[in-house]
């Protein structure tokens, strides 16, 4: 029986992870099965589904919204990246039957920005929209690239403040961003899943080098369109981050480092 992997989430039907990991397996020259697992929005249901998957011989798993923090609280062991983020997106079985949690989101984002999009993060003013699991996973890797500043902004200022204080960066609610300028604006909210745009002032995009939506869709996201219409010089979705973080998960599971760019190109071409 080939090794089995899955991604747990709610929603999860839109996930391109099965396509991405099939591409990785072809590069490695192996057969594997990668599925999507829809779980009720409940921590108990999530833990039950994860236990069942690994008890039945699962070889590894990814975790997406809204379970990344639940996974962090539940796993038996965590990487330094997961501890920093307090969020887990990769589950790795341990020899003793437990699970190790890691977070590859930040590695995927920084690779996409720096290597794929050729954006230098050093001395840049970065605005990070959102304060949930997606945002938690990327602050520390962004800080490692020595930006001039990072500002975390969220509809609920208390959540932005909590995240920002953990990492020693600035925070604001959306309404406090008017007339401020940023080099890079990153959307880490879940709004793009339903086609929503964060309620931010339009002028934050004026003169920005890049507006980046962590969400990936087959067409331009509402956030990207809003940013482009309001002055962003370049807009990008999160496909590069998605493939980059997936490649890091694959390496952790299998010890094989896939070629990320070729897989991005395949997904862009609409390979099913």
Active site residues: 68
By residue count, the chain amounts to: 272
- Give yes or no for a contact between 86 and 45, defined as CB atoms under 8 angstroms apart: no
Angle at 108 between CA 106 and CA 114, to 5 degrees: 95
Give the separation between CA 18 and CA 64, rounded to whole angstroms. Answer: 13
Query: What three-state secondary structure class fits 7?
Result: strand
Burial class (CB in 10 A: 0-12, 13-18, 19+), 74: middle
- Give yes or no for a contact between 196 and 224, defined as CB atoms under 8 angstroms apart: no
Closest by Cα among 269, 265, 268, 270 to 27: 265
Give the separation between CA 108 and CA 175, rounded to whole angstroms. Answer: 29
- Give yes or no for a contact between 105 and 138, defined as CB atoms under 8 angstroms apart: yes
How do 4-9 and 60-63 pair as beta strands? parallel
| Residue 154: C-alpha distances to residues 41, 71, 114, 170 (Å) | 22, 23, 25, 12
């Amino acid at each position: 029986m080939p090794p089995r992997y899955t991604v747990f989430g709610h929603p999860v039907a839109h996930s391109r992870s099965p396509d991405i990991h099939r591409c990785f397996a072809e590069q490695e020259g192996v057969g594997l099965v990668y599925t999507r697992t829809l779980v009720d929005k409940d921590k108990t249901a999530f833990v039950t589904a994860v236990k069942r998957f690994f008890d039945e011989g699962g070889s590894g798993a990814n975790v997406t919204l809204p379970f990344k923090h639940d996974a962090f609280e539940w796993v038996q062991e965590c990487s330094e990246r997961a501890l920093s983020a307090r969020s887990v997106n990769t589950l790795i079985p341990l020899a003793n039957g437990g699970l190790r949690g890691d977070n590859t989101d930040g590695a995927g984002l920084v690779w996409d920005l720096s290597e794929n999009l050729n954006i230098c993060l050093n001395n840049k003013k970065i605005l990070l929209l959102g304060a949930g699991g997606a945002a938690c996973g990327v602050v520390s890797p962004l800080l490692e690239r020595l930006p001039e500043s990072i500002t975390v902004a969220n509809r609920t200022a208390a959540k932005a403040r909590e995240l920002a204080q953990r990492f020693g960066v600035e925070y604001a609610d959306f309404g406090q961003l008017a007339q401020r300028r940023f080099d890079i604006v990153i959307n880490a909210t879940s709004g793009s899943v339903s086609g929503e745009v964060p309620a931010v002032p339009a002028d934050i995009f004026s003169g920005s080098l890049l507006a980046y939506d962590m969400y990936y869709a087959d067409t331009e996201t509402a956030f990207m369109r809003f940013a482009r219409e309001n002055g962003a010089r370049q807009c990008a979705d999160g496909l590069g981050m998605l493939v980059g973080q997936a490649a890091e998960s694959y390496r952790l599971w299998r010890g094989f480092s896939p070629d990320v760019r070729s897989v991005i190109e395949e997904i862009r071409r609409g390979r099913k």
